[in-house]
A and B are shown apart, each in its own frame.
Chain A
Amino acid sequence: MSGLVLNKINKAFGNVRIIRDLDLQIADGEFVVFVGPSGCGKSTLLRLIAGLEEASGGEIFIDNNLVNDLAPKERGIGMVFQSYALYPHMTVYENIAFGLKLSKNNKDDTDQRVKRTAEVLQLDSLVNRKPKNLSGGQRQRVAIGRAMAREPKIMLFDEPLSNLDAALRVQMRAEIGKLHERLGSTMIYVTHDQVEAMTLADKIVVLNAGRIEQVGTPQQLYDHPETVFVASFIGSPKMNLLRGVIAKPDSRHTEVEIPLLGTCRAAVNSESAKQGEKVLFGIRPEHVLVRHAAEAEPGLDVVNQEYLGNESFIYLQHPTDDEMFLIRVAGRTDAKVGHRLALQMDADHCHLFGSDDRAFPRAEVREAKQLNQAV
């Protein structure tokens, strides 16, 4: 078992607290992605796990062993750095072998391991090249190979794809996913790119300002964001949020009064709320139906329209909100700037957030429906 447990982890640089009372459990073989905006502490957290930084407080367990005071090597981790961190004067072979030689492996064993690693990562033909003669993707593979060769219990990835161009990123993303399937080792992956998080993770940890906002599977985070932060961070384009007040609290069919748009229904449980309480009403761009508004019908004005080929984005402006309200439609749209559109929001896809920024639980109805879809 190569599980990882973080218990009340704190990290401060001087007076700045980067990580605050963070608890997390990662099971053996899981692919966990730390995601969050820059400065949220995700890289610091990874470096704490690696042993490159010392925790200011709290406990880190790997395989039920307290590792706070252990050197990185004794923790049994391997790490892939954002900038690859290859030794520029060594060949691919030497780069992979460098970390192996010291551990009491004899020469043949080292040689075998390097060759096997190079084979797995399709680097066999490149072993005698130096890093500067490799492409970005190849360098990244060498960096992964170096971390892999020691057969660590846990592999850590610190934004490994952010130096690659978009096409290569997609390809390497798939390769890392395959590698995880093949090795089955625990992997922790840091990124600010929510697409990487959604596609790779068994479990996503959303971090914000040194705290965990939410932990869950990609689908849980997408369907049931617990906070406004998670709701707007996960999903691209991001979720639309409108200010409103609760017109009628209910365990299943909450009614929300939104200025200019009238009463909207949301399939959430708002029993704990009172009538008139201020809320944020959230709905994703793909869950809104639109049509041209009739003469006196409530609606929003189109301020921009983007055609992307397979889909179109329509930007609407709510007069009392700063951010534009985005609608995603398949194919082309005939909505033009200046048109007024009436919105129809599916109650089952609506989210509701209280004044404490936390979500009201979405009603059961929705769960059942989702299961059917999955089948």
Chain B
Amino acid sequence: MPEYSLSNQSEDGAMNDEDGSMSNIAAVAHHNRLTRQRIRSAWLFLAPILVLLALVAGWPLLRTIWFSFTDASFADLTVYSFIGFENYLSYEDGEWYGVLADQEWWGSVWNTLFFTVVSVSAELVLGTIVALTLNAKFPGRGLVRAAILIPWAIPTIVSAKMWGWMLHDQFGILNHMLQGIGLISEPLAWTANADLALWAVIMVDIWKTTPFMALLILASLQMLPSDCYEAAKVDGIHPVRVFFKVTVPLIMPAVMVAVTFRALDALRVFDLIYVLTSNSAETMSMSVYARQQLVSFQDVGMGSAASTLLFFMIALITIGYLCLGRRQMAGDN
């Protein structure tokens, strides 16, 4: 049909024209001066926040990295000497010393990674289910949407303390209820038992941050084009297939952002674990380890070395994610 081919040509032709005119604009000489002016004012606007960031983030970070190469003590931060990589790893009298040689450090690394993978995965699945539920129309939806955010709105210290009581081995309501329905015969020491403690921490974290995940996913669900779903309905495509073939790919970018946020959060988890289980080695995260070295053992050098390692680990994951995301976007185009 000639009319179709004609239309194709004219539309493609229009696109080419557009490209052509764009390069023409770029070639205009005084455009460069305008661009330079814009770049200058952009820096001017950015300067205050850059200074602020350097003061509150850059300076402490550099100081921490510096301290990790010293033998500074928490008692007196003015007296210290440079000792190189000894805080990280050193060999003396046939034995290895330093953070990287510490069994407890590697235990805390394992705990942190385990905690991150399990809690973020569970939060992702539960958050998606909650988001899908809240996305459906039902009476009282606004109220439920507000209510679901409560766990996330409570300060972590408060909810950790609250759960600490609920999980208490003697007076805790959880043991009481589980015994009441006959699931357990003996009260469980949720936060003290080495096998249970990390799971208890994970459970509380899931309770607390699933709403955050749900909120982000709900936001992306509400951005979805509703007419696509009607088209799928007209074509008689099964809802489960629509979910995996249409919904999931379309909310993926938002889900990845949510997962990244949560993963970075979980990697530096401190308050929840510290309040629920203190310095117990079974549940110790990297942040708790750093605090222990820094405050309990007064060893600023070791604590800083642990903090620096944690910083680089998170930085590495973030950079990896950004690269992956950029490549994915490039592939998309």
User: B11 and A137: CB pair below 8 A?
Assistant: yes
Q: Does B3 contact A (CB under 8 A)?
A: yes
Report A61-84 residues with CB < 8 Å from chain B CB: 71-74, 77-79, 81-84
CB of A138 within 8 A of chain B?
A: yes
B14 CB contacts on chain A under 8 angstroms: 135
Q: Are A89 and B225 in contact (CB under 8 A)?
A: no
Residue from B15, B233, B236, B237 having most chain A Cβ neighbours under 10 A: B236
For chain B, give the interface size range.
20 to 34
Contact B4 A83 (CB under 8 A): no
Task: Tell me the complex Cα distance, A79–B249, Å.
Answer: 23
Closest to A182 in B: B1
Q: Nearest Cβ distance between residue A45 and chain B, in whole angstroms?
A: 15
In angstroms, Cα B86 to Cα A218, docked, is 92
- Roughly how many angstroms separate A296 CA and B7 CA in the complex, as a whole number? 58
Q: How far is the CA of A82 from the CA of B1 in the complex (A)?
A: 25
With both chains docked as a complex, state the minimum distance between the C-beta of B225 and any C-beta of chain A, in angstroms.
Answer: 7
Which of A88, A150, A178 counts the most chain B CB atoms within 10 A?
A88
Q: Does B245 contact A (CB under 8 A)?
A: yes
Asked if B231 and A89 sit within 8 Å, CB to CB, the answer is: no
Cβ A89 vs Cβ B250 within 8 A: yes
**Per-residue contact bits, chain B 235-246, to A (CB 8 Å; 1 contact, 0 not):** 111100100011
Q: Are B231 and A146 in contact (CB under 8 A)?
A: yes
Partner of A89, one of B11, B236, B249: B249
- Asked whether A39 is an interface residue with its Cβ less than 8 Å from the other chain, the reply is no
Known: A89-B249, A135-B15. A122 touches B5 (CB 8 A): yes
Partner of A81, one of B11, B230, B250: B230
A48-107 residues with Cβ-Cβ distance < 8 A to B are 50-52, 71-74, 77-79, 81-89, 98-99, 102-103
Interface string of A243-281 (1 = CB under 8 A from B): 000000000000000000000000000000000000000
Q: Mark B122-149, 1 if CB is under 8 A from A, else 0.
A: 0000000000000000000000000000
Inter-subunit contact B227/A99 (CB<8 Å): no
CA A85 – CA B237 in complex, angstroms?
15
Specify the chain A residue showing the minimal Cβ separation from B4.
A122
Number of interface residues of A (CB under 8 A): 36
B241 touches A102 (CB 8 A): yes
| Contact present for B231 and A88 (CB under 8 Å) | no
Given A137-B11, A174-B3, CB of A88 within 8 Å of CB of B225 = yes
| Contact present for B231 and A79 (CB under 8 Å) | yes
Residues of chain B within 8 A of A78, CB atoms compared: 234-235
Q: Are A85 and B11 closer than 8 Å at their CB atoms?
A: no
Return the contact of A150 from the options B5, B8, B230, B235 (Cβ within 8 A): B235
Contacting residues, chain B, for A137 (C-beta < 8 A): 7, 11
* Set of chain B residues within 8 Å of A122, measured between Cβ atoms: 1, 4-5, 7-8
**A52, B230: Cα distance in complex, Å:** 7
Seed contacts A72-B235, A87-B246, A178-B3; 10 additional CB < 8 Å A-B pairs? A71-B236, A77-B234, A78-B235, A87-B228, A88-B228, A98-B237, A99-B235, A122-B5, A125-B8, A146-B235
Interface residues of A (CB under 8 A from B): 50-52, 71-74, 77-79, 81-89, 98-99, 102-103, 121-122, 125, 135, 137-138, 146-147, 150, 171, 174-175, 178
For this complex, 15 residue pairs linking A to B, each with C-beta atoms less than 8 Å apart, are: A51-B234, A72-B236, A79-B231, A83-B225, A85-B231, A86-B228, A87-B231, A89-B246, A98-B237, A99-B235, A102-B236, A102-B237, A171-B7, A175-B3, A178-B1
Interface on B for A, CB 8 Å cutoff? 1, 3-5, 7-8, 11, 14-15, 225, 227-228, 230-238, 241, 245-246, 249-250
